[in-house]
Amino acid sequence: MEILKDYGELISITLIPFILWGLGTYFQNRSAKRKAKEDLFLKLMANRKKNPLSQDWADALNQIDVVFQDSQKVRSAWRAYYDSLHPDSQHFSNQNSFQLDLMSEIAQVLGYRHLRQTEIDRFYAPAFFGNQMSNQDLIFREQLRVLTHSKNLAEPFSKKEYQKHLKELNRKA
């Protein structure tokens, strides 16, 4: 009987660290996956109505299949939204509905059960940001006009030089 007790203690002393390590790894992986899902959702929420669309928005959308690989509902909603993004899609005019469905499915998976689609659809963007974007766009277009019509900022192209320059620009694009 004493031998069984000794073997039992030896086995428990040997196995307990491995069991604890395995459980720790399991919970750490689970926590990391949950954090990745939450980070992706928050990135989508923060960028959902930005105009123009941000690189963060596109990057987050492209990560959905990996981060939510265990959620068929989210991946189906992503496929439907993806389809609606293409101009030839019959759902192109209903993009917002498909986007809300996707965001709602992700919210459900994460446990945000009381987050309604009307709340997801609400987005605050101060007029200042819109004005700033318009001004930046205006400056960019004006710089582009000047640069495509001139040798440098002080010397414009002749008509012949401009046509040649325009052909070169189109060839590079």
Instruction: Kindly report, residue by residue over 24-33, the tens digit of the pLDDT.
Output: 777 778 888 9
In DSSP terms, 150 is beta-bridged to 156
Domain ranges within the chain, ordered by starting residue? 2-125, 129-173
For CA atoms 67, 69, 74, 80, give the dihedral sign: positive
Q: How far apart are CA 37 and CA 43, in angstroms?
A: 10
Quick check: 48 and 103 in contact, CB under 8 A?
A: yes
pLDDT digits (tens, 9 = 90+) for 87-123: 998 999 989 999 999 999 999 999 999 989 888 888 7
pLDDT digits (tens, 9 = 90+) for 47-84: 888 877 889 999 999 999 999 999 999 999 999 999 99
Q: Can you read off the two tokens belonging to residue 136?
A: 């930046």
**Contact partners, residue 66, CB within 8 Å, separation at least 6:** none
Cα separations in angstroms, 58 against 7, 93, 103, 160: 58, 19, 14, 41
Give the pTM. Answer: 0.63
